[in-house]
Structure 1
Amino acid sequence: MSDTVDGRWAEIFGPRYLPVTIILALGVSLFAFNVFLSATALPSAVQELGGVEVISWATTLYLVFAIVGGAAAALIKRRVGSRMALVGLAGVFLFGTLIAATGGAMPQVLLGRAVQGFGEGVVAALCFALIPELFPSRLVPKVFGMQAVVWDIAAFGGPAGAGALTELISWRAAFLINVPLVLVFGLMVILVVPAGGRADGVARFPGLRLAAIGAGTLLVALAAIAPPGSAALLLLGAAISLAGAVWLDRRSAERLMPPDAFSLRTAVGSGLWLFLLMPVAGAATAVYLVLLLQQLWGYGPTLAAALGAVMAIGWSCSSVTVANVRKRSTRRILIRTGPILLACGLLAVLFSLETAQLPILVIGQFAIGMGFGISNGYIMLTIMEASTDGERDRTSTLLPTTQSAGNALGAALAGVAANAAGYAQAATSEAILSAIIPLFLMAVGFAALAWLAALRMVQLAKRTPIAEFASE
């Protein structure tokens, strides 16, 4: 593909690609809105059903099973084809929604959230796999820009919509709003998505590998709420479990991941490390900023959340802006610049909190969003282009799974760093400001590691033959 070939925004919303664009937007929105749903609707659920002590597990189980489902997505697609996989797992998500919405006790709600997570984890991963399958390379940055906007809408509209439904009708209505969305999604998939080829033979169920991925993710989630000493052991166990899953997968005849997953010897492996490390770094503000603004500056929840959302605005604006970049040399500059902006933004937010400077906080938040926005789409595109035709399904479906794992790992590490520095026991503003310094410095350190991974990825991508995607 020539560096001078460009695609227009109008194309992905034109007659040829509009149905597929809508399918991808719906698939991403189901995942995005349900990530934000629980924080708004579940407090009302526990008031009705009891079980406040397990409320956090509604989100934890959703994410754990979403990661497991995403890991299995490529195998499911090969076994039953694209259309059947998307429709079938959307049905699983719908079944989980109905379990949660009709729950008479919190354990039933938790079961429904776990089933929801597995179904939507597969659907979100398969939507990524459809991008190189149904769009030409020149339009892929536009598709990623559109997905960033969907996530931003979910970040703003998800809590507001769920809150309105909960307040005006019931927390159950906030779950049941998924039903029409899933039905529309399934109908459009049947009409638009090709069935796709099915692999011959019967593959062994990768139970051990999926169990290792699930166990590792669960240990990460537990580390986020454990005391520092126990959290360190839990994170060590998670690392062993996840590394074991990758090791077993490389030796399996029916792999879940590309053979060079997380190898620093290839552009794909280095890119996956970059895609994991950036969310780990960004978790410091994602997890703690809204709370810190309430504790340190006395802001109410709405104003604090609005400042937290500045990051999403920066992400959306920048991702849409750079989607028109045509030269690969410029795209590589954007990939290398993303982690630098992320690190600078984190330092600016820390400085603003220590000195009570609101303008610097806004600039820092916007810079963090820009760090993700200018680089994320081209990281994913470069990983897909560097992957071979036979491995592109596995590579594409691993991308959202890797990002979710980065968010989970980042939240756990942020909790460990903050608690180890005494944040949980801090009773004064001075003690809080002292405790968050290690948290932000750790985040900047992970941004630096992400920058090294970006350098390695770009270096290796220059030597890798570039693959074309869907035909024109």
Structure 2
Amino acid sequence: MSSLSNSSKAVARAVAGDTASAATTPQGWATLLGGRNAISSLVLAGGVALHAINVFLTTTMLPSIVRDIGGLSYYAWNTTLFVIASIIGATCSARLLQLLRPRGAYVTAAVLFALGALVCGLAQAMPVMLAGRTVQGLGGGLLISLSYAMIRLLFPQPLWPRAMALVSGMWGIGTLVGPALGGVFAELDAWRSAFHVLIPLALTFAAIAAVVLPRDVDARHPSPLPLLQMALLAAAVLAVSAGSISTRPTWNVAGLAAAAALSLLIVRNERRSPRRLLPRNAFRRNAPLGLVYAVMSLLAMTVTSDDVFVPLFLQVLHGQSPLIAGYLSALMAGGWTVGSVTSSNFAGRKVRRIIVAAPCVSLVGSLVLLWLMPAASADTAHLVILAGGLFSLGLGVGMAWPHLLTWVLTFAPPDEQDRASASITTVQLYATAVGAAAAGLVANTAGLVDPGGAVGTARAALALFAVFSVAPVLCLAIALRLARLLAVAAR
């Protein structure tokens, strides 16, 4: 704790609530959603909504897709490759914005997204589906990052908080619309049409962007891309995914070992290279920023590892339709939203307590799923308790999330705010990709593919929730350390 510098202590006091930092905005929602601003808001929010809807739509339809074209052993790769490509897109967004300017960058992102949807809709085998998901992820990652980056270009500063809230709120739209669309198309045995519907939507936003977005941007050059770290990051996730395909423990362990070694290389290069993914000092011992990243990663993995397979478990073990299974799994996202909204007004000691309580709430949800998900049942009471567990899992993450994101920006050096902003997406997506890949490894090893069927799926559910219940426990230990560090700094 003594390693905190005076400036870090001042930052910690501010975060802990000992100094006021509230900002007032004279312009409200009417200004943001009126006139020309309304069209610009539609473009930025619409791009994120497309990405979010696609995430939940595909998760809901994936069991039906696998039944049609096969590739069950590659089930988790649909999420893994999608997220890896999203990370690459998010990291490259600043460079693309400088190269193609706002209009060209946004149109390129939307066209890539539409192209990926087209490939997915035409896929006759899982390798083609994975290729389409990769292209979709690249376009989606660009759409998200460009939407946040262009808020500064399109709106006056007093409107930035409202615009950020609008764009972030599109994930709630995705939670509501995605499972419904995915469930309907899956039940009609028309999952290909669901991907095709996304194409004209993406191209419409591209056409609007080509008209309303500014032609140019300031000449400020972004930091050089950390290409080595990006390659190592992708290789680490792919190593876990490659190991997850086999049911042989030797290959599983080899994949995990390779991923661990590659992750250590990422940390090594982040410490030494001027081209970094994260702000400097993120890996310094007792640095609050590093602890914040650790809590973020573990919470994201807690949700993602479960979210990937929940629709499949609900359909196979509990006899639910794709539509109902999609909405039940979306309860995690609903809990995340409720937790974020309800905790965002807290400050000071309450925030430190929330950071400690959050993993406990998620752990309760994980234990409920560990108890009930492997037991095949369509009983109403059984499903109600399961729904509560799913909601609790997301609620814990949402309780901590807005404060963790604020701390990333607060603890980062003032001259690295752009890198700090981008790191939020990078860390979240990396944890999501690793969680999805590791979930696939655990599920396949436990019997999802061999023996398969209801027996294998039940074994996979038991193993998955048992293993990933460790994540909130580790998160609690780190959250306690972070809370103590901030409490000392706030004195």
Taking structure 1 as the reference length, the TM-score comes to 0.77
Q: Which secondary structure does the structure 2 equivalent of 1:260 belong to?
A: coil
1:223 is paired with a residue whose SS is: helix
Within the candidate set 365, 369, 375, 2:390 is matched to: 365
- When residues 121 and 322 of structure 1 are mapped into structure 2, their CA distance, relative to the original with a 3 A threshold, is same
The alpha-carbon deviation at position 215 of structure 1 amounts to: 1.7
Summarize the Cα distance change of 1:411–1:197 in structure 2 as closer, same or farther, 3 Å threshold. same
Moved more, 5-14 or 283-292: 5-14
The question of whether the paired residues in 2 share the 8 Å contact of 1:87 and 1:190 is answered with no
Shift of 1:431: 8.7
Contact 2:303 2:394 (8 Å CA) reproduced? no
Shift of 1:361: 2.0
Map of 2:470 onto structure 1: 445
**Separation in structure 2 between the aligned mates of residue 340 and residue 193 of structure 1, nearest angstrom:** 46
Q: Could you tell me how far apart the structure 2 residues matched to 1:246 and 1:61 are?
A: 22
> Could you tell me how far 1:185 is from its partner in structure 2?
5.2
1:306-325 equivalences in 2 (<5 Å) = 306-323=327-344, 325=345
2:13 equivalent in structure 1? none
Indicate the residue corresponding to 1:31 in structure 2.
Answer: 51
Which of 113, 134, 146 aligns to 1:93? It is 113
Indicate how the Cα distance of structure 1 residues 217 and 86 shifts in structure 2: closer, same or farther if over 3 A, else same.
Answer: farther
Q: How far is 1:331 from its partner?
A: 3.5
Relative to structure 1, is the Cα distance of residues 100 and 211 closer, same or farther in structure 2, using a 3 angstrom cutoff?
Answer: same
Q: Whole-Å Cα distance in 1 between the matches of residues 198 and 453 of structure 2?
A: 42
Q: Is the 8 A contact 1:223 1:230 kept in 2?
A: yes
1:273 aligns with 2:294: yes
Q: 1:268 Cα shift?
A: 2.8
Is 1:384 matched up with 2:409?
A: yes
Deviation at 1:231, TM superposition (A): 1.8
Task: Map 1:70-89 to 2 at 5 A.
Answer: 70-77=90-97, 85-89=105-109
Measured against aligned partners, the alpha-carbon deviations of 1:251-281 in whole angstroms (never above 9, x if no partner) come to 3334343223455533332222222111222
Structure 1: gaps of 5 or more residues: 466-472
Contact 2:109 2:140 in 1 (8 A): yes
Assess, with a 3 A threshold, how the Cα gap between structure 1 residues 282 and 319 changes in structure 2: closer, same or farther.
Answer: same
Please tell me whether the aligned partners of residues 25 and 147 of structure 1 are also in contact (alpha carbons under 8 angstroms). yes
> Does the aligned pair in 2 maintain the 1:27–1:123 contact within 8 Å?
yes
| Counterpart residue number, 1:119 | 139
Instruction: Write out aligned runs for 1:396-407 (5 A).
Output: 396-407=421-432
In structure 1, distance between residues paired with 2:126 and 2:447: 32
C-alpha deviation, 1:139, in angstroms: 5.1
TM-superposed CA distance for 1:342, in Å, is: 0.4
Q: For residue 146 of structure 1, what is the amino acid of its counterpart?
A: G
SS of residue paired to 1:371: helix
CA contact (8 A) 2:244 2:255 kept: no
1:212 aligns with 2:232: yes
1:151 alignment partner in structure 2? 174
CA drift of 1:295 comes to 4.7
Residue of 399, 409, 432 corresponding to 2:434: 409
Report the counterpart of residue 364 of structure 2 in structure 1.
344
Would the aligned equivalents of 2:354 and 2:399 in 1 still touch at CA under 8 Å?
Answer: yes
Match of 2:218 among 197, 204, 223: 197
Judged with a 3 Å threshold, the aligned counterparts in structure 2 of structure 1 residues 151 and 331 are, in CA distance, closer, same or farther, namely farther
Residues 189 and 253 (structure 1), Cα distance of their counterparts in 2 relative to 1, 3 Å cut: farther
Deviates further, 326-335 or 65-74: 326-335
- Preserved CA contact (<8 Å) 2:113 2:202: no
1:61–1:290 distance in 2 versus 1, CA, 3 Å: closer
Q: Indicate if the aligned counterparts of 2:60 and 2:311 stay in contact, CA closer than 8 A.
A: no
* 8 Å CA contact 1:71, 1:401 repeated in 2: yes
Alpha-carbon offset, residue 98 of structure 1: 5.2
The SS at the match of 1:253 is coil
Q: CA deviation at 1:149?
A: 1.0
Amino acid at match of 2:281: D
1:2 aligns to 2:27 (yes or no): no
Q: Deviations over 1:412-435 (max 9, x none)?
A: 333444455556557898997677
Moved more, 261-270 or 424-433: 424-433
One-letter amino acid of the counterpart of residue 172, structure 2? V
Give me the whole-angstrom Cα distance separating, in 2, the residues matched to 1:273 and 1:119: 27
SS in 2 for 1:327: coil
Residue 82 of structure 1: how far off its partner (Å) = 5.8
Partner SS state of residue 245, structure 2: coil
What amino acid does structure 1 have at the position aligned with 2:141?
G
Q: Which whole-Å CA distance do the structure 1 matches of 2:187 and 2:142 have between them?
A: 29
Quote the RMSD (CA, aligned, Å): 4.4
Equivalent pair of 1:19/1:192 in contact (CA under 8 Å)? no
Aligned to 1:470: none
Provide the C-alpha distance between the structure 2 equivalents of 1:80 and 1:410, rounded to a whole number of angstroms. Answer: 34
Return the offset for 1:446.
0.8
Higher mean Cα deviation, 265-274 or 190-199? Answer: 190-199
Contact 1:262 1:272 in 2 (8 A): no
Write the distance in 2 (CA, Å) between the matches of 1:45 and 1:156: 15
CA distance in 1: counterparts of 2:489 and 2:39, whole angstroms: 33
Deviations 1:326-354 (A, max 9, x none): 53443443333221110111112223447
Deviates more, 1:225-234 or 1:192-201: 192-201
Name structure 2 gaps, 5 residues minimum: 1-18
Moved more, 246-255 or 387-396: 246-255
CA contact (8 A) 1:289 1:308 kept: yes
Q: What's the offset of the Cα at 1:4?
A: 5.7
User: Does the CA contact (< 8 Å) of 1:68 and 1:213 recur in 2?
Assistant: no
Q: Distance in 1 between matches of 2:232 and 2:44?
A: 29
Post-superposition Cα deviations, 1:47-84, rounded to whole Å, max 9, x if no partner, equal 99x78689756555333322222233345456666665
- Aligned amino acid, residue 114 of structure 1: T
Instruction: Flag the 1:411–1:263 CA change in 2: closer, same or farther, 3 A.
Output: farther
Paired position in structure 1 for 2:245 = 225
Contact between 1:349 and 1:361, CA under 8 Å: does it hold in 2? yes
- Tell me how far apart the structure 2 counterparts of residues 427 and 109 of structure 1 sit (CA, whole Å): 22
Change (3 A) 1:231 1:194: farther
Secondary structure at 1:151's aligned position in 2?
A: helix
**Which residue in 1 is equivalent to 2:15?**
none
Q: Tell me by how many angstroms 1:130 deviates.
A: 5.3
Contact 2:288–2:411 under 8 Å retained in 1: yes
